[in-house]
Chain A
């Protein structure tokens, strides 16, 4: 039996950008979706449950505003996780958490997790797909005071000895790391191919419990770390559509290369 806690974020989808006529980003009107690697984390938890038994609890913190709308969006994301096979879902909802940074989010998540019980495994995606801060798992690991391994592309459990072997995927190398359980692990997109929930599975999952907490109910206060997000602005999304014209193909090639160097996607030898 393995009980797993999975941390998921209802993230903005970069493919669903909405702007007003003046080009201003309309974040409040963009939909939220389950962050891609968090979905892999849920999938991994479900597979572990299918193999070893136990339960899967999913946790999320509402960090985008406006609050009412985003609570619905986050609920919808958690229902997807429940539809995939998770057993319980928990949400932290508080006005103070709107635009929270990973420092604050990790504190809220940890409190919610602690409130619901003890788990053998704590999973999260390596980073969220909207903000890509890539900190939650490591932070929660510190707050829970548990061994933590990031960027896992494979997890092998040895429940007889309460251990896990994790394949850690770094840029230039692969590490096999062994840890005792409980442990916190963040997963990459390569760890599995996550199932897609169907509408009828989501419907069926409505009977599973979904609970909301406020910061008061969790008995925590967020530290003032002297940091806030001032603004988000759009970078021009549309492509430049520049047709490179030149007298000869040689000249066209030169022009192209210089533009690519300028854009920083090609690095000339120094």
Chain B
């Protein structure tokens, strides 16, 4: 009862906003200064536009509705920003706070410049005014807390390797001062025309007002005017300086980069096809990127969008094992060259060490964690192609890989006759059919080079074929398999890759089948996404997907064990292709899983991708060792894998750590119960 009366009393005493209180004569300043600021802002944005579109790059404006959704999900709703707890929380506080304050300012401007000026009315009155006041208070407090936390975060270095410079502190302080002076100005206004006030709706204003009243007595108009000018100048100047400071991220990263982010799957965006390679080769030109001229407007926007949050830096297996690659550093180094307008400069090796580019294992962790949708791997791959096709600054081991694929059809230089002999003997032992051109199969099991030649991985193929026979799957294998081409592409030999796609397409076209079955996520990713880029669409399944289905449909009889194992998610399966539930489903039917910390889409690479199964950057710790240490920390002594490269890489660490490495097919193969029919 009392409350209602109180509120009624309040409403009776509420006034509206007194726009330009004490500073009516200074009103024109706002408009003049705003125009100047707008011009500077536009100039800043224009400057970026010029850099991004330099040398005939045209910004592509398509799929507007999809892009708007992107903008909303990742920009406005901060979809990926919040994924990192510390930074995400702090940013949300500042973000919501600043947006709230900004909306508050807009509402005032609307009331003054539109409603009052043209309609002679107000809307920020009564209850709405209370809400408005509260909103401004709350958001101001949120922003202030966020900024203070941000200062602490930087000052006490609570996030590893977060790049912090004077500019960061200055900007944070700048925002803090704007907010605090804003509060003071509001408080002084409260003093002026709200004498009795319920502090619930304007807590900061009220308390500040009381304080200031005591401090300034009634001589506050001059002080107000000075402070108002200061606040105006500081705020508008900060806006003008947006394109020239870190604040630019609000626009470029949050709005532009999310809106213009690539719509294809990140793995497809990272590995772009080149359709005019023959012409480039004839003209003696490089394939891939060598200078900023070769990088697209989108990539250049990426460089400007980097907010230096260090998330990719702290997710990158190369960086974490002290190799010379930090995706963040790379983006910023190229950004520097771009701002210095060094478009003609050969980036590698003049500004970027070739080792930096070769250190990348193409695991995609950087792309996964980037809150503003930068695709670092795309730029790395383009530069890698550029280095590779120049023939310089390329590890000879990788040139040997290309050469081996060219001459022997596999990256290791093994004898294909050896593969054929082995496959024929296994096929006859297990009753597996060698594919014939007239017969239609449900699956062609494409073994891939590791399963074809490496004795450990041959065991995986053996087990898989055994299981498939047991489940009566209609499949066949090919005697004439050539490397699927993935290693060639990853090391930057795009020309050879296209040649291989052509050759394998010619082979596969001869046979009739519904899907390709592979035991390798690299092959899976390659056939699924990358062959189509050069005109060959093919349906493909990874063996864990099929095996999961077989178990679900009760086609296999499994003996469950009391084993406790850990599962290592392959980057090319879990992160690039979202397949991580199926392997777990299979394993759980056999043993118990004790998970590592970095799993599923956050998996930590085994170190074998991007050509690294074939050579070593001899710096820092081996990535495979780092991952094996993580596996060991689960307390299990068996790591289950679903990829031959993971298998090979982790296996080389296995003896030192007393761990066993096993593919899912082997795990399952060992646990299949012999049915009564067979026992007879």
User: Which A residues lie at the B interface, using CB under 8 A?
Assistant: 15-19, 31, 33, 193, 195-201, 203-204
Contact = CB atoms under 8 A, between A and B. Distances in A.
B407 A199 contact: no
Contacts of A195: 391, 399
Interface in B233-292: 277-278, 281-282, 284, 287
Nearest to A193: B396
Nearest to B500: A199
B493 interface: yes
Given A16-B417, A204-B281, A198 B493 contact: yes
A16 B415 contact: yes
Given A15-B413, A17-B415, A33-B407, 19 more contacts: A15-B414, A16-B415, A16-B417, A18-B415, A193-B396, A195-B391, A196-B396, A197-B403, A198-B389, A198-B399, A198-B403, A198-B493, A198-B496, A199-B496, A199-B499, A200-B277, A200-B389, A204-B282, A204-B284
Given A196-B400, A199-B406, A204-B282, A19 B417 contact: yes
Contacts of A200: 277, 281, 287, 389, 495-496
A18 B414 CA distance: 12
Contact of B402 (A18, A33, A193, A196): A196
Contacts of A204: 281-282, 284
Given A16-B417, A17-B417, A196 B399 contact: yes
A198 B417 contact: no
Contacts of B396: 193, 196
A15 B388 CA distance: 27
Interface of B: 277-278, 281-282, 284, 287, 388-389, 391, 396, 399-400, 402-403, 406-408, 413-417, 493, 495-496, 499
11 contacts: A17-B415, A195-B399, A196-B403, A198-B496, A199-B406, A199-B496, A199-B499, A200-B281, A200-B496, A203-B495, A204-B284
A16 B420 CA distance: 12
Nearest to B498: A199
Contacts of A203: 278, 281, 495
B417 A199 contact: no
A17 B419 CA distance: 12
A47 to B, nearest CB: 14
Contact of A16 (B277, B284, B408): B408
A203 B407 CA distance: 15
Task: Pick the 6 closest A-B CB pairs, nearest first.
Answer: A18-B417, A200-B495, A196-B399, A196-B403, A199-B496, A200-B281
B588 to A, nearest CB: 38
B418 to A, nearest CB: 9
A80 to B, nearest CB: 9
B276 to A, nearest CB: 13
B292 to A, nearest CB: 23
A193 to B, nearest CB: 7
Max chain B C-beta neighbours (<10 A), residue from A19, A196, A197: A196
Nearest to B495: A200
B669 to A, nearest CB: 24
Given A19-B417, A204-B281, A198 B391 contact: yes
Nearest to A14: B415
A201 B388 CA distance: 12
A192 B284 CA distance: 26
Nearest to B404: A196
Contact of A199 (B402, B408, B414): B402
From A17, A193, A198, name the one whose CB has the most chain B CB atoms within 10 angstroms.
A198
A129 B403 CA distance: 18
B282 A199 contact: no
A16 B419 CA distance: 11
A17 B496 CA distance: 25
Contacts of A16: 408, 415-417
Contacts of A201: 391
Contacts of B388: 198
Nearest to A198: B402
A189 to B, nearest CB: 15
Contacts of B406: 199
A196 B388 CA distance: 12
Contacts of B403: 196-198
Contacts of B391: 195, 198, 201
B408 to A, nearest CB: 7
